[in-house]
Amino acid sequence: MQKFNTLKSIPAYLPIVNIDTDMIIPKQFLKTIKRTGLGKNLFFEMRYDDQGKENSDFILNQTPFNNSKILIAGKNFGCGSSREHAPWALLDFGITCVISSSFADIFYNNCFKNGILPIILNDEKIKELSEYANRKEEISVDLFEEKVIYGNNEIKFQIDSFKKKCLIEGLDDIALSLKKTEKIKDFEKILKSEKPWIFND
Protein backbone atom coordinates (compact mmCIF):
# COMPACT_ATOMS: atom_id res chain seq x y z
CA MET A 1 0.00 0.00 0.00
CA GLN A 2 1.31 3.45 -0.92
CA LYS A 3 2.28 5.75 1.94
CA PHE A 4 0.14 8.84 2.41
CA ASN A 5 1.49 12.08 3.81
CA THR A 6 0.68 15.18 1.75
CA LEU A 7 -1.45 15.61 -1.34
CA LYS A 8 -2.08 18.53 -3.69
CA SER A 9 -4.72 18.51 -6.41
CA ILE A 10 -7.56 20.39 -8.04
CA PRO A 11 -10.55 18.72 -6.35
CA ALA A 12 -13.55 17.33 -8.21
CA TYR A 13 -16.88 18.27 -6.67
CA LEU A 14 -19.71 15.73 -6.86
CA PRO A 15 -22.61 17.25 -4.86
CA ILE A 16 -24.79 14.15 -4.73
CA VAL A 17 -25.97 12.74 -1.39
CA ASN A 18 -26.21 9.02 -0.61
CA ILE A 19 -23.81 7.85 -3.31
CA ASP A 20 -23.81 4.11 -2.69
CA THR A 21 -21.18 1.54 -3.59
CA ASP A 22 -23.21 0.33 -6.58
CA MET A 23 -23.03 3.85 -8.02
CA ILE A 24 -19.29 3.92 -7.35
CA ILE A 25 -18.70 0.56 -9.05
CA PRO A 26 -21.74 -1.36 -10.41
CA LYS A 27 -22.22 -5.03 -9.61
CA GLN A 28 -21.32 -6.28 -13.12
CA PHE A 29 -17.69 -5.26 -12.50
CA LEU A 30 -17.26 -7.23 -9.26
CA LYS A 31 -16.10 -10.46 -10.89
CA THR A 32 -12.43 -9.59 -10.55
CA ILE A 33 -10.36 -9.96 -7.39
CA LYS A 34 -7.67 -7.67 -8.78
CA ARG A 35 -7.39 -4.13 -7.46
CA THR A 36 -6.38 -2.73 -10.83
CA GLY A 37 -8.44 -2.05 -13.95
CA LEU A 38 -11.56 -0.83 -12.13
CA GLY A 39 -10.89 2.88 -12.54
CA LYS A 40 -12.32 3.01 -16.05
CA ASN A 41 -15.66 1.81 -14.67
CA LEU A 42 -15.79 4.18 -11.70
CA PHE A 43 -19.25 5.83 -11.55
CA PHE A 44 -20.00 3.88 -14.73
CA GLU A 45 -23.70 4.73 -15.05
CA MET A 46 -23.02 8.45 -14.63
CA ARG A 47 -19.86 8.60 -16.73
CA TYR A 48 -21.18 6.78 -19.82
CA ASP A 49 -24.34 6.79 -21.91
CA ASP A 50 -26.21 3.69 -23.14
CA GLN A 51 -23.80 3.38 -26.09
CA GLY A 52 -20.76 3.44 -23.82
CA LYS A 53 -19.70 6.96 -24.79
CA GLU A 54 -18.46 9.38 -22.15
CA ASN A 55 -21.04 11.79 -20.76
CA SER A 56 -19.40 15.21 -21.17
CA ASP A 57 -21.56 16.66 -18.40
CA PHE A 58 -20.12 14.36 -15.74
CA ILE A 59 -17.41 16.02 -13.66
CA LEU A 60 -14.79 13.25 -13.90
CA ASN A 61 -15.00 13.32 -17.69
CA GLN A 62 -14.01 16.98 -17.77
CA THR A 63 -10.52 18.48 -17.78
CA PRO A 64 -8.85 19.00 -15.29
CA PHE A 65 -11.14 16.97 -13.02
CA ASN A 66 -10.38 13.75 -14.91
CA ASN A 67 -6.99 13.94 -13.16
CA SER A 68 -8.27 14.91 -9.71
CA LYS A 69 -6.82 13.08 -6.75
CA ILE A 70 -9.31 14.62 -4.33
CA LEU A 71 -13.06 14.06 -4.51
CA ILE A 72 -15.47 16.31 -2.61
CA ALA A 73 -18.79 14.51 -2.27
CA GLY A 74 -22.25 14.79 -0.70
CA LYS A 75 -23.12 13.31 2.68
CA ASN A 76 -23.40 9.57 3.41
CA PHE A 77 -20.84 8.69 0.76
CA GLY A 78 -20.20 4.97 0.25
CA CYS A 79 -23.50 3.68 1.66
CA GLY A 80 -25.06 0.45 0.46
CA SER A 81 -23.31 -2.91 0.21
CA SER A 82 -19.88 -3.44 1.72
CA ARG A 83 -17.96 -4.08 -1.52
CA GLU A 84 -14.24 -3.42 -1.24
CA HIS A 85 -14.20 -2.88 -5.01
CA ALA A 86 -15.52 0.65 -4.34
CA PRO A 87 -12.28 2.01 -2.83
CA TRP A 88 -10.32 -0.09 -5.36
CA ALA A 89 -12.09 1.70 -8.23
CA LEU A 90 -11.48 5.14 -6.71
CA LEU A 91 -7.82 4.36 -6.13
CA ASP A 92 -7.33 2.93 -9.62
CA PHE A 93 -8.83 6.11 -11.09
CA GLY A 94 -6.31 8.11 -9.08
CA ILE A 95 -8.44 9.41 -6.21
CA THR A 96 -6.61 9.03 -2.89
CA CYS A 97 -8.69 11.40 -0.75
CA VAL A 98 -12.47 11.75 -0.40
CA ILE A 99 -13.96 14.66 1.54
CA SER A 100 -17.56 14.49 2.75
CA SER A 101 -19.71 15.50 5.69
CA SER A 102 -20.37 11.81 6.45
CA PHE A 103 -19.46 8.32 5.26
CA ALA A 104 -20.95 4.85 5.58
CA ASP A 105 -18.95 3.06 8.29
CA ILE A 106 -17.80 0.04 6.26
CA PHE A 107 -16.73 2.12 3.28
CA TYR A 108 -14.94 4.56 5.61
CA ASN A 109 -12.88 1.76 7.16
CA ASN A 110 -12.23 0.11 3.79
CA CYS A 111 -10.67 3.35 2.57
CA PHE A 112 -7.92 3.19 5.19
CA LYS A 113 -7.17 -0.43 4.32
CA ASN A 114 -6.58 0.57 0.70
CA GLY A 115 -4.58 3.77 1.04
CA ILE A 116 -7.40 6.32 0.69
CA LEU A 117 -7.87 9.13 3.20
CA PRO A 118 -11.56 9.89 3.96
CA ILE A 119 -11.97 13.30 5.59
CA ILE A 120 -15.10 14.37 7.45
CA LEU A 121 -15.90 18.10 7.44
CA ASN A 122 -19.08 20.02 8.16
CA ASP A 123 -21.31 21.25 5.35
CA GLU A 124 -20.08 24.84 5.64
CA LYS A 125 -16.47 23.81 5.05
CA ILE A 126 -17.52 21.51 2.23
CA LYS A 127 -19.16 24.49 0.54
CA GLU A 128 -15.99 26.57 0.93
CA LEU A 129 -13.84 23.85 -0.64
CA SER A 130 -16.33 23.36 -3.47
CA GLU A 131 -15.66 26.94 -4.57
CA TYR A 132 -12.02 26.02 -5.16
CA ALA A 133 -13.16 23.07 -7.25
CA ASN A 134 -15.44 25.35 -9.26
CA ARG A 135 -12.56 27.76 -9.85
CA LYS A 136 -10.24 24.88 -10.75
CA GLU A 137 -7.77 25.82 -8.03
CA GLU A 138 -5.60 23.38 -6.12
CA ILE A 139 -6.06 22.52 -2.47
CA SER A 140 -3.63 20.60 -0.25
CA VAL A 141 -4.13 17.85 2.29
CA ASP A 142 -1.57 17.36 5.05
CA LEU A 143 -2.27 14.15 6.92
CA PHE A 144 0.57 14.56 9.40
CA GLU A 145 -0.75 17.96 10.50
CA GLU A 146 -4.38 16.87 9.96
CA LYS A 147 -5.37 19.88 7.90
CA VAL A 148 -6.72 20.88 4.50
CA ILE A 149 -5.10 24.00 3.03
CA TYR A 150 -6.89 26.18 0.50
CA GLY A 151 -5.67 29.63 -0.50
CA ASN A 152 -4.59 31.39 2.71
CA ASN A 153 -6.96 29.29 4.80
CA GLU A 154 -6.77 25.91 6.45
CA ILE A 155 -9.25 23.49 7.98
CA LYS A 156 -8.34 21.06 10.71
CA PHE A 157 -9.80 17.57 10.58
CA GLN A 158 -9.71 14.69 13.03
CA ILE A 159 -8.63 11.13 12.39
CA ASP A 160 -8.03 8.07 14.54
CA SER A 161 -4.34 7.91 15.48
CA PHE A 162 -3.96 4.23 14.52
CA LYS A 163 -5.60 4.73 11.12
CA LYS A 164 -3.39 7.77 10.58
CA LYS A 165 -0.28 5.75 11.39
CA CYS A 166 -1.29 3.00 8.94
CA LEU A 167 -1.78 5.49 6.10
CA ILE A 168 1.46 7.35 6.77
CA GLU A 169 3.46 4.11 6.95
CA GLY A 170 1.54 2.41 4.13
CA LEU A 171 0.35 -0.48 6.29
CA ASP A 172 -2.62 -2.60 5.22
CA ASP A 173 -3.88 -5.61 7.20
CA ILE A 174 -1.29 -7.96 5.67
CA ALA A 175 1.58 -5.57 6.36
CA LEU A 176 0.40 -5.18 9.97
CA SER A 177 0.43 -8.97 10.39
CA LEU A 178 3.92 -9.24 8.88
CA LYS A 179 5.26 -6.73 11.41
CA LYS A 180 4.38 -9.32 14.07
CA THR A 181 6.14 -12.21 12.32
CA GLU A 182 8.59 -12.86 15.15
CA LYS A 183 5.87 -12.89 17.79
CA ILE A 184 3.84 -15.31 15.65
CA LYS A 185 6.85 -17.61 15.28
CA ASP A 186 7.50 -17.54 19.04
CA PHE A 187 3.86 -18.40 19.72
CA GLU A 188 3.94 -21.29 17.25
CA LYS A 189 7.16 -22.61 18.81
CA ILE A 190 5.61 -22.65 22.29
CA LEU A 191 2.38 -24.17 21.00
CA LYS A 192 4.28 -26.89 19.15
CA SER A 193 6.15 -27.74 22.33
CA GLU A 194 3.07 -27.83 24.53
CA LYS A 195 0.60 -29.38 22.05
CA PRO A 196 2.60 -31.23 19.40
CA TRP A 197 -0.44 -33.24 18.27
CA ILE A 198 -1.87 -30.11 16.62
CA PHE A 199 0.91 -30.17 14.04
CA ASN A 200 1.07 -32.81 11.30
CA ASP A 201 4.76 -32.53 10.39
What's the count of helices (H) and strands (E) in the chain, helices before strands? 8, 8
Domain ranges across the chain = 6-170, 171-201
Mean pLDDT of 111-138: 96
Nearest to 42 by CA among 110, 95, 117, 100: 95
pTM greater than 0.85: yes
Q: Which CATH architecture has domain 6-170?
A: Alpha-Beta Barrel (3.20)
Give the tens place of pLDDT for each residue, 19-49. 999 999 999 998 888 888 999 999 999 999 9
Query: 3-state class of 24 per DSSP?
Result: helix
pLDDT value of residue 31: 86
Q: Report how far residue 188's alpha carbon sits from residue 93's, in angstroms, rounded to the nearest whole number.
A: 41
Max distance between CA atoms of the chain, in angstroms, equals 68
Helix, strand, coil distribution of the chain in percent, nearest 5: 40, 20, 40
User: For all residues of the chain together, what is the average pLDDT?
Assistant: 92
Q: Please state at what angle helix 105-113 crosses helix 161-169, rounded to 10 degrees.
A: 40
> What is the pLDDT confidence band of residue 1, given thresholds at 50, 70 and 90?
confident
Give the tens place of pLDDT for each residue, 159-188. 999 999 999 999 876 666 666 677 777 777
Query: 3-state class of 197 per DSSP?
Result: helix
